[in-house]
Structure 1
Amino acid sequence: MRIPRRLAPVALAGLLALAGCSGGSTTQAESGAPATPSPSATTVTATETAAETASPSPSPTPTPDPLMPALHSQTYEQAQAELVRQEISTALLKSAAQHKDVTLPPNHDGWYVCDASPRIGTKLTATTTVTVRLAKDFSDCTTSFNGYLHQKNDPAYTPPAPKPKPVPTTQAPAPAPAPEKTAPKPAPKPVGGSMITCPDGKQGHACTSNGHPVVDGQFCPKADRGRTLKATNGTTVTCSYDPSVRPYRWQ
């Protein structure tokens, strides 16, 4: 179609306008620019979970094993109560006589603890056996003849030979001298001036009937009741009964 010369400028302006509209409608995909993906809900949740710091749960503090208490000089009943107080099970508590020639009776709650194992301060587990050795009289704890309470029961003991009897004479006995007046005797002094060695091999001023040195404040055997001796510290002590303390003491 032939456009008249007077309409040519109008037609050219229309073409230019159409070309501008067509160029402005170019899409992002046609321009080659990368598309920005929208974050999905799963990605956002995973990111938030990773960002959260889990608070550490407190670990329980282990209960330490109990320690072996001191049971020496207590009665068997008191030793049981002490183990219970220390939260130590008495299921594995065993008792035995201190001496080989002594039989432990079924009821020995009033007997005294001479020795206990394991040692004081040892850790006690749930399987540790606590053994106590008992004596009826606490003073017997320090008496031992190769593990026997009575020396005659020791197989290694040899009794002394009997003394020979004096041969009677036919001579008439000499007349007894006339009694002489003598000055009153001084009060008897306690035995034990200088240091001696007792049968147990220890030094002391005097020895007990059990063969041990006399120690001030220590328990004394019943056989020494009423005796006055010198203790290892040089003081004079008497084996007497103190109602507040059981049994006898040197004091």
Structure 2
Amino acid sequence: MSELTTDDVHYYPAFLQALLEDHSDDATVAALLRQPAFAVYRNTVFKGCVDALAANYPAVQRLVGSDWMHAAALAYARDHLPRQASLIAYGEGFAAFLAALPAADELPYLPGVATLDRCWTEAHLAADQPMVESTALQSALVAGQDVCLVPHAATRWHHDAQHPVTTIWSANRTDPAIDPGDIDWQGEAALFTRPQAEVQWQAISHGACRFLDACREGQPVTQAAALALAQEPDLDVAALLGRLLLAGAFTAFTFN
């Protein structure tokens, strides 16, 4: 690969300024900007970003409508141009962007819903891995060995302490519309896995999320269980572990 020249170092920032701000202080780029084709190119770039965000955040779009989503997505794209040619994973920071967006202040659950949309995308695109060998794991646990569970590459989870994001997300992504009056307005969490090449999701508790957090941090099962119980004293850890294994949440285990 050839090295950047002095002209390149000055040209690329000027070109980016023209793309983002529709003007340039560089004479060469300013001349390019006056050509009708550049406007077409500029519009195409941002339309691609907006369309990708709408596709990657369908629950958010359904909640806010196409016009609102277009405006928010365009504002995001101006500050977060794609880093890859493919836009299938575009929008990594969109949930955080919405959390700081004044126009979203009246929808405090929106960043959480966006996070669940992102979890689905990441689970869908994650690397293939086998599921943990449950028989070997059970044998190790029965023998009293403390093991560390390794989350599968496709496993994602999110807990919102204040808002029923799982219910809202599912109602705007997969389930029929529900009456807002039927929603229990309290914190919720969700788990995303991909056990059979297809993303699956389920509602889980805060204690379950704490268990998964501890596993991701490399904590052994006994410590993960203790942290989960501290968060949720009534949690049935054995039932939780069985549920997580059935969902394909782990790829392996190591001995502590």
Structure with bigger gyration radius: 1
TM-score bin (small chain): under 0.3
- Normalization by structure 1: what TM-score? 0.24
Q: Higher helix proportion, which one?
A: 2
TM-score between the two structures when normalised by the length of structure 2? 0.23
